[in-house]
Amino acid sequence: SDSLSLHFLAFPKAAGGRDGEENRLTEGVIYQLQMCEAGTAVENDVRKTPATPRVDKYKELYTGMLTPFDANGLTPAHCYAFRLRCQSCLPRERRPKREHWSEWHESRFQTDAAPPIAPQPLRLAVNGREAR
């Protein structure tokens, strides 16, 4: 079956840093990535009118401290909405506190249609000889 994968990299902004400054040390940061299917590319061209997915339609893809992470099994010619949030935690904290999560950062992504399969010439072997 045809499916696509996205590879996500996430870096938290440096504490007290300027906009655009990244802290590549991700220790003590928990990430939560969710995805929602937002229709087909024919129904929704994300460049023109991005779909607004319902909050209850998002499904959990990943929660954890390791980055990068992947979204697998995406269908060609479909629109997807992704949202990511994170929080810092102390090493002793086992479960993140709800009020400490950052705001959701949302992004829309549209996969291209799968290329048509080119017909291959038919080859048969008849009495040990190749025939077309």
pLDDT digits (tens, 9 = 90+) for 73-101: 888 888 888 888 888 776 666 666 667 78
In this predicted structure, what is the pLDDT of residue 23?
A: 45
**28 located within any domain:** yes
Give pLDDT, residue 77: 83
- Residue 39 domain boundaries: 4-115
Give the span between the Cα atoms of 99 and 120, in whole angstroms.
58
Q: How many domains does the chain have?
A: 1
For residue 41, being part of any structural domain is answered with yes
User: What are the φ/ψ torsions at residue 56 (nearest 5 degrees)?
Assistant: -75, -5
Look up the CATH number of the domain holding residue 37: 2.60.40.10
Is 27 a domain residue? yes
**pTM for this one?**
0.60
3-state secondary structure of 25: coil
